[in-house]
Amino acid sequence: MSSARSRASRIASPQRPGAGRVLVAVRGDTVLGHLQLVETGKPGESEIKNMAVREDHRGRGVGGALLDAAVELVTHERGTQLVAATAAADVGNLRCYQRQGFRMRSVERDAFTPATGYPAEIRIDGIALRDRVWLDRSLTPEP
């Protein structure tokens, strides 16, 4: 079993009414990351509202294991699609989602501006934070 797969088997899913569900990746007593799933209101669709992995554990399969666990959970519940949004400037997040089978859905221009509550001139790896990218992944077999 790969290290990412063994991490996936150790992901807990505490439930809190109204807050969606949170999957938590742990090793021993250490939390490595989390993923929050919420319903979108569309039949069969869930949204990955938030996902984070400790900086010292990025690139080690924790994010992929969390995404695998989310896909397994939503599929088990007969869900048909997952959606997620991330900053267009965050190429690491875009790479992670695309490696897990997510595809570009749309771009929400100027989502991260002072008018929407964000400070001016935020940069991620030298790229100005402005636009939000929506991605999706079908959970039904393609014909």
Q: Which residue has the tokens 């007593």?
A: 29
Band of pLDDT at residue 67, cut at 50, 70 and 90: very high
Which residues make Cβ contacts (< 8 Å) with residue 37, sequence separation at least 6?
20, 21, 22, 23, 46, 47, 48, 49, 70, 73, 74
Q: Which residue has the tokens 């100027």?
A: 110
Whether the predicted pLDDT of 118 surpasses 90: yes
Name the helix (H) or strand (E) containing 63. helix 62-76
Mean confidence (pLDDT) of the chain: 88
Band of pLDDT at residue 105, cut at 50, 70 and 90: very high
Tokens of 101: 């089978």
**Residues, the chain, total?**
143
Whether the predicted pLDDT of 20 surpasses 70: yes
Q: Which residue has the tokens 């742990």?
A: 26
Band of pLDDT at residue 2, cut at 50, 70 and 90: very low
Q: What pLDDT does residue 18 have?
A: 53
The pTM of this model reads 0.82
Question: Using alpha carbons only, how large is the chain's radius of gyration in Å?
Answer: 16
Which residues make Cβ contacts (< 8 Å) with residue 84, sequence separation at least 6?
47, 48, 51, 97, 102, 134, 135, 136
Q: What pLDDT does residue 141 have?
A: 76
